[in-house]
Every structure is written in C-alpha cells, then in structure tokens.
Amino acid sequence: MKKRGLVLTAAFMLAGVLSGAALAEESSAGVTVNENSESATGYTAEFCYEDEKATNVKLVGGFQFYVSGDINVYSKGVTLCANDSFTNHLIEWNEWEAGKDLKHVVDTGSTVEMEKDENGAWTAKVDLPGGSYLYQYQVSYDGGENFETIADPANLPSCNVEFGSKQSRSKFFVPYDEKQGDEEYYDWSWVTPIEDESKQGEIIAVHYDGLDMEQVAQIYLPAGYEESREEPYKVLYLSHGGGGDEADWFHQGNAGNILDRLIADEACEPFVVVCMLNEVYRDKFEGASENDDYFLYCYDNIKNYLIPYVEEHYNVSTEVSGKAFAGLSNGAKLTNEIYINDPGAFSYFGLFSGSSAWAWPELEDYFAYQEPDIYLAAGWADQLMMGVTYHTDKDKTMMGIKEDLEKAGITYNKGGSYITVEGCHDWFVWAQVFRDYVATTLWK
C-alpha cells in the first residue's frame, strides 16, 4: 500500500446547494438564496454583512449577462468604435428578463451598493437565474475614500480554512426555476455537490519538495478510491491561470463537484486530478505570461518534482496513456509549452482560453506532435479566442494555435472544430469547458 505522506485532508463537501445558508440559520450574516414569486428569476440572493465600523459597503459579483449572438461582445475579430467598449453591451442583474437569450458573462463584473438596516447590518438583495456565483465585499471605513476587498466572513471559501489556499472570493449556487425559461442553459445543478455522500470525491492538500522550495498541490480522489486497486487510476494534471493557485479549479471552477456527478452518471471513468501552484515562480521571470522560460521552469517543477511525488504516494498511472495535462489561460499557455517541448509526456493536452502560439516551432516533420489528443476551447466572448495578440510574435490566442495545428496537419478535438461555450474569460466558461472536456474527450 502506498503512503500519502504529509497531507491535510477534508471531505469535498459543501453545506447544501445554497452556500452560506447553514451559517445564516445561526446568524443574520452571510448569503441565503430564497424562492421568490415576485422575482423575474424565481430566486433572490440576500446578502448581509455585519461590521459596525464600516461607513460604506459594496457587493461585487458575477451578476452580469449578454445577449447570445450580440456581435458587440463577440471575441473573434470584431472591432468596436473608438468610443465604445465591451461593457457597454452587458446587461445588469436588475435588467434580466426571460426570453431574451441572456447568458452569464464576467464572473466579477457587478457592483451593488449595500444599505444599512435598522440593526446596523449591511444588506443587499439580487434576483438571479441559475448558476454558480462568486462574490466579495468592498468595505470602507473613511466615508468611501478607500475600500478593502474581502471575502464574506460568514461564507468563507472552505479551502481557506482546510487547505491554506489564498482564495479571496465567496461562492453560492442558485437553482433553476421554470420562470427562467432556458432550462438547458440555466440549470447549473451539475456544478453543485452531489447529494449522495458515498459518491462524493475527496480533495487532499499536500506539501512536497518542489523546485527551489516546498510546494503545495491539491489532489482530487474519486469516490471509492482504492490505494491497492490493481489498475492504477488515470490522472489529469490541471493548471490554474495567471494570478491563480492550486485551489482555483476546485473552489471557483467546481471541478470536484462536476467530476462527482459525471462519474456517478458513468459519463467518465473515475480518475485522479492534480492541481499545482505555478504562480510562485512568476517573479523569477520578466514578462512571465509571454516568457517561454517561465513556463518551462514551471514544467521542470511539475515533471521532476510534482509528478514523481504523486506517482510515489498515490495509485496513479505512470504510463503516458494514463496521463493528461490541461489548463486555463496562463495554464493553457503552459499546456501548449509542454506539448511543444515534450509532446510525448502526456496522451491528452487540453487548452482552455489561450495558447503559446508564439512558440510554435517551424519543422519539416510534425510526426511527434500527432500522437497526443489535443482539445481547444474558449468562451464565445473570450478575448483570448482571437484578441489583439493574434498573428503577432506574442500570439496567445486559441485561433492562433488552431491555425498552427492545421498548417502542420495535426488534428484537434478528435477531428472536429474548436469548442466555444457561452461566456467570456471567466469561471462561467471554464466550468462548462471542463465538463465538456471530461464528458466528450478525456480518456475516450
């Protein structure tokens, strides 16, 4: 039996679908989501923040939408007028209406002024359709001159407590109601914790000896994980984006919840997911987000420190056929760099919302690049689908790498087209993409 080493463990669970509700039963503070017949969506999220010294409080969250198909927010080569901007075409939560084909966009775009009630607590009410929402409070103690941004102290990210991650946004879920109309889109129950606890996976926080320093990672073990299982579990190494950390995918992206449900529905086989921390190496490199040396340094840590640790302590595959790598934004650039420099290391590469197309090599023979399975996806309104770097020497777009692959005769997305989902460069997009990747591509 393999030993896990030094770990901090916690069951991957949330207190029901309505995050913060359990806390609210003991205190008026936090967030509760209530059915509301007068709401256009059928639900109202009620926020309460208690701070006697605060002079002003704002609620900031992902409460904006766009009209599906609106060319003004389309990211594939549309240029707006000089006096126009993307944000001018977004719809705020209080303007939401059923039947207008509105989609989530920007996971932290809305600001709501909170009001002080008769008990001295700061409150706000927001009517929302189904989804997984991230939010923060901005608190001022000097009449609004300066604001401090904090997570909701009555609904802290669970990983801050159990795992030590620096997640700074709180989270809650809103169910679907028939008043919302578009059930296929607004039923986001697939991101919520599965009700049957025996089918819930586990998130493990680990410390390991990494490149230059002690490092941290978080590991998803599927429900029923067996250290002595004869067939090792396949393993996905999954990277955060710029400014993120090892908890991003599990907290903000709900990756564990998504996997629990897909595995329970037999839409995928049980497998292990490993999320690393790459951001700690950023300061070593100038212009890290477009610097090959930064991404290769991160890969040095992953290849020579993290992967050996995982393979020693967990029952995971050591065969290329049982290993995959994927990431979002900067993590997509990292994935692309690994594919370019070490194409035989993984059998699957998933690029979500970005690439390092600037580093694509000019070769006569791309035979070594044809074996792995390549997956490309981005949001319909995602600036890294086809943005300002497109066709430049710093091309980090999805369309840029798509064209490079096509010129080299390399198929992607199993011979189909690139994937687009509704949304921008945000967690509404990456949750959808992750679900599609696992259900349609990974280990298929």
Residues 292-308: pLDDT tens digits? 999 999 999 999 999 99
Give the pLDDT confidence score for residue 7 in this predicted structure: 36
Count of beta carbons in the 10 Å neighbourhood of residue 10: 15
pLDDT digits (tens, 9 = 90+) for 369-403: 999 999 999 999 999 999 899 999 999 999 999 99
What does the pLDDT read at residue 426? 97
Angle between helical axes of 292-301 and 330-341 (0-180°, round to 10): 80
How many Å is the Cα radius of gyration of the chain? 22
Residues of the chain with pLDDT under 70: 1-28, 161-162
Side chain identity, residue 207: H
Domains of the chain and CATH, by start? 17-174+184-190 (2.60.40.10), 196-440 (3.40.50.1820)
Determine the pLDDT at residue 22. 35
Residue 161: predicted pLDDT:
65
Contact 170, 31 (CB under 8 A): yes
- Global pTM reads 0.93
